Structure formats: C-alpha cells, structure tokens
Amino acid sequence: MKCVHRIADNELVLLQNGTVFFPQLCADIQAAQHSIYLETYIFAADETGQRVAAALQCAAARGVAVRLLLDGFGSAELSEHYVQQLRSQGIQVQWFRREISPFTWQRSRKRRLLRLHRKMAVIDGEVAFIGGINIIDDIPQHSDFTAPRLDYAVRLQGTLAAEIHLAMRHLWGVVSWASIRRRGKEIRQFILHEEAAVFTPEIALLLRDNLRHRRDIERAYLKAILGAQREIIIANPYFLPGSVFRRALKHAARRGVRVVLLLQGKVEYRLQHYATHALYDQLLAAGVEIYEYQASYLHAKVAVVDEQWSTVGSSNIDPFSLLLAREANLVIQHQDFARELRESLLSAIAVDALRIGTEYCDRPNYFARLIARLCYGFVRILIGVLRLRRQGT
C-alpha cells in the first residue's frame, strides 16, 4: 500500500522503480480530461514505450490535448516513422535540440550540447510526476539482469502540480517558438517565467536552466550537507562533484556525520564510471562510506539528510547535469517522507550493494587506478572546454 504524505497543500507518494511508476502514470493518463504534458530524456520504442504511447493515444482520441517533449540526444534512437505514428494519432511531439554535433564548436552551434534531462509529467494541471525514470523498460535490454534499475519518482497532487504544469507549458512554448526561429517579447517571457523556482518551507521545486538558475540544485545539496548533524545518504549513478562539493562531504565525515554514498556498481558508461573511481581514495580517507549497487544499473538521483531533508529528481552530481542540462528536482523537508526514502535506500544497500572498504587503498590495482585517473583527467579537460565555450556565448 502506497504511503501518502501531506506536505504544504500537496499529497506526495514516493514511487520506486518503473514497476510502480508506469502503472500509476498510465492510470493517470487514462483518467485525463483536458491536457497531458510529458517531458523525458529517453523515450524508447520498447514494451514500456509502447504501453505509455498507447495510453497517450487513447487520451488524444477522446479529445485530450497531449504534448510530448523529447530530448534530441537521449531519444535519438526513436525513429522518425515511430514519431510520425504518434503524431498521426493526435499526439503533439516536439524535439528539444535534435541537432547533435558534439565535435562541432562553431559559435552558432554551441548550444547544441545543452540537453533536456528532466523527467516530468502533468495531467490536467492537477497531478504531476517528477523524478529520474525515463520511458524505457525497467530491466535493461540485452543484459543479464533480473532486477530493475534502482530509480525513484514522486507523484504529487496539490498546489505544486499547477506550478509544474505552468513550467512545462512555458518550456513547450519556448521550443515551439525556437522551432520556427522566432525571437521577441513572447519567448523572453517564456524563459523568465520558466526559470523561476517555487519554494515553501516544506517543499521546493528546483528547475535548473542555463540562465540565472544554473546552480540551484547544487546549492540545495550543499546547504543540506553543511547543515547535517547525523547522517547524509546520497544515491547517484554518475558521481563527479566539483571540489567544493567534495570538501563539504569530507568535512561532514570528519566532524562525525555518517556520510554514505550509493554509487554505480555495474559499468554502463565507461568514462563516468571509471572517472568516479579516481575520487575513492580521498573520500574513503575522510571516512566516507562508499557502496556500489550490484543488482542492476543504479539510476536514482536522490538523497536524505538527518531523516528530515530529502531530494528526488533528475540531476546527477556530475558536470554534465550541473553545467549543461535542464534538470528538475524536488527538495522536501518532511520527516515521514525522508524516512520512507531512507529505509528504501538502506534496504538496497544492505541487500544489493557491495561496500568499498580500506582494502581499496591498501591493495591498489595500479592499472585500474591509471585508467580511473585518465578518465577523470579527460572529464576535467572536457569541463574546461565547455566552460570556455559558455563564456564565449
């Protein structure tokens, strides 16, 4: 039975993995009366994608306005034929920066590396979803895994759903105007409204953009870490924080706070995976506990601090999320919600994770460390190039 948390005029339900998320999402789509907005980084034409697409098609057939916004890189494998089928069924589909040219550095193409990485949906402006779950099969295809990716989303009803609806409408408008190469007062209004974050003392919607809110999600993490008294638990698959973030974690551990990191144990993207290993020595030396998830891929981007503060969203703690992507996280100050998320993470750690202990430092594999340092160095060079390019825009 799902636990409903009532927080600041909102009802929140924590959803773990697609096995819970997709049935709930499809049920709410099937109940839609007026409008559906769905944003996702990956929309796959697999069994899960077909299931969600069928629900969207049924909604469009009964007159619901259905708008689907896909990232041009994350959903690049989706064929044009499939997209045209969606459109023929009454679903409005738009691409966020479909032109992909990672090795073309001309000024006019600099913004092509900026991605839409957030995963959100809103139905009738009343029910919203936000988290890290893409529209893709829960168990990775062409793998030996029997367990699903570990991931989370939040379903919410209340005042914040209306704000999410407004933010999604405005980004849809921005992409619509950009697609016909129009500039003017309207598009500036879209951007200025869409970049605003929504706060109450108990819950905040943070929308990272590439304008005035580039560091909002990172700053929320840092504030929670610096104020931690007892425990910090962070689950993140691509963990490459900057020096300020790393220092905050190490200082917390040294002042007696239990700091727990649940990281990717299976190699999904080699560069990020091995680059993260270059940070293990300094984190372990400071007393940070590191666990690697083994049951499947880890995809969760969540954290809990002192059983009171928590966040669920799409943002990795790496330069690609923190420098390039549009992200969306909820930050929640609520003990019962934080405890539910904490218990889920501790269960995953106890059952499906391997602790990286002092033997990592005592018996080093020099070749593995060389690979890790080379990957980390490459990432740092890439970050430097991207920062220079951003300064030139």
Active-site residue list = 117, 119, 124, 299, 301, 306
Q: Which helix (H) or strand (E) holds 293?
A: strand 289-293
Helix (H, G, I), strand (E, B) or coil at 43: strand
Name the CA radius of gyration of the chain, rounded: 21
Alpha-carbon distance of 91 to 343, in angstroms, equals 39
Q: Are 195 and 211 in contact (CB under 8 A)?
A: yes
Helix (H, G, I), strand (E, B) or coil at 57: helix
Alpha-carbon distance of 138 to 142, in angstroms, equals 12
Please give the DSSP secondary-structure letter assigned to residue 211: S
**Contacts for 47 with CB less than 8 Å, ≥ 6 apart:** 137
Buried/exposed 18-51: b ≥16 CB within 10 Å, e otherwise: bebbbebbbebbeebeebbbbbbbbbbbeebbeb
